[in-house]
Structure 1
Amino acid sequence: MTDRTYHAPGGGLPPQTRLMTGRAVFTEAYAVIPGGCLSDIVTSLLPFWEGARFWVLARPMSGFAETFSQYIAEIAPGGGSDRPETGAGTQAALFVLDGAMRLDIGGKAHDLGPGGYAHIPPDTEWRLRNAGEVPLRFHWFRKRYVAVEGLDPPPPLVCNERDIPPDPMPDTNGVWATTRFTDPADLRHDMHVNIVTFQPGGVIPFEETHVMEHGIYILEGKAVYRLNRDWVEVEAGDYIRLRAFCPQACYAAGPGPFRYLLYKDVNRHMPLAEPCRIR
């Protein structure tokens, strides 16, 4: 497989001479966080992490996207955590952008580099360290697992996208393909994290309008995205967050591949409100 690059934020702070006008937008249906917004002053710290800071890209918000949170973590050499997750019933998915990760899941150690992916089931003990000499940067998806009687949670999974052949979309001649870390037919999973790749000129040829919420991080290239009523230019390092049923489409507009890391909630009934009781 062709060597891949994965855009990762470097932090810092724009100079005082820079214009404030940018591409960041938050609407009732979608949000765009350009890569240039991921500066030092918008990072967060979390309990029980050492030498670590986090860019929070998504958090559950009533009336918007509600199922997940998503961070980009930056871990200094030797940093990490022996107690990374403090929420009961929470599963995790990790995707390495750059650096060297030593990940322990339930007492089993794994070494992950760029393109490495891990799914950690809910209530599973895990630890993480930067095993290299440069900063480790990775995406961390968190979702409270929706249990279903008769379905066990999925087991841990560790792999690398470079070892997974992309699955071409039907009738696209391979210009639109998806790298799937988990089997879409495995109903034990209530979330999917995929990588979508468009070759130059590739398109989503209709406005998708569906129940899944999305977190979309641009790994490589650039494109023009249709989001609700707007056309928005995006490039490597940008982040898009979509609520359910937000119309979406895109076409790859650059000279090279356009690739993004995609989150969506799947395989569960829609939660219903408690019935109103009339006395």
Structure 2
Amino acid sequence: MLDDFLVRAALAGVGVSLAAAPLGCFIVWRRMAYFGDATAHAAMLGVALSLTLSTPIFAGVLLISLLMAVTVSTLSGRGYAMDTLLGVMAHSALAVGLVAVSFLSGVRIDLMAYLFGDILAVGKTDLAIIWGGALLVLVMVGYRWSALLLSTLNPDLAMASGISPRREQLVLTIALAIVVAVAIKVVGVLLIAAMLIIPAASARRFSRTPEVMALMAAIIGACANVAGLSFSYHFDSPTGPTIVCVVAVLFIALNTIQLISQRLSARLTSIRQD
């Protein structure tokens, strides 16, 4: 069954969605959208490093993503505004990575595949790496779920309970780096942040608990991956951007449904009161 490239692509997309969903929720809650973007952009430098040293792309991307995440976490709150710091590091890392790749001699590289993903080229080894990384992230986040949630909602209460918010942020950044490393093959450097944020933002209005939001985000992301893959196959469009387009349409549709539902509910309440 795994000899079918469409099946491998669908499984890869679902694996990335499962790993990205809970992290996306924390990024939305903490208002760290730019943080995910910065870590993803740094992945291009990891690609250049891997090609230079002839090592697996996953290893280089994971190393650079971890360095970026830890550096941002360390420098934040030390005289640097977070948005300024992320802006400088995100665009600098992406630019340096693209320039470094252009200087590699004797190496043929499909730059578009790394920028926008090449999910249809996912092999069995890639699939094993994606699902292995996804399971590792789910175990990390699941094990630290309560501590992460408390440090997100109320850092002062977390400290009073013996939980270090800075340590929990480090756990979150490490998990994010792993997701970026496994997702680069699916949606590419420029679209990873979209798959982290949009499913979580779509699920937010329909969720009464954090756990439900994470579950709904995973379902929305998985459905968007499968639907986007199908549309891409039938209409011969670029797969990574098509997946993001589908999840964006779902975001608009779900928010429209929520808005209509709220207005109808308000109108019915007004009629009953009259």
Please indicate the TM-score interval, normalised by the length of the shorter structure.
Answer: under 0.3
Task: Indicate the structure with greater strand content.
Answer: 1
Task: Indicate the structure with greater helix content.
Answer: 2
Larger RCO: 1 or 2 (CA < 8 Å, sep 6+)? 2
With normalisation by structure 2, the TM-score equals 0.23
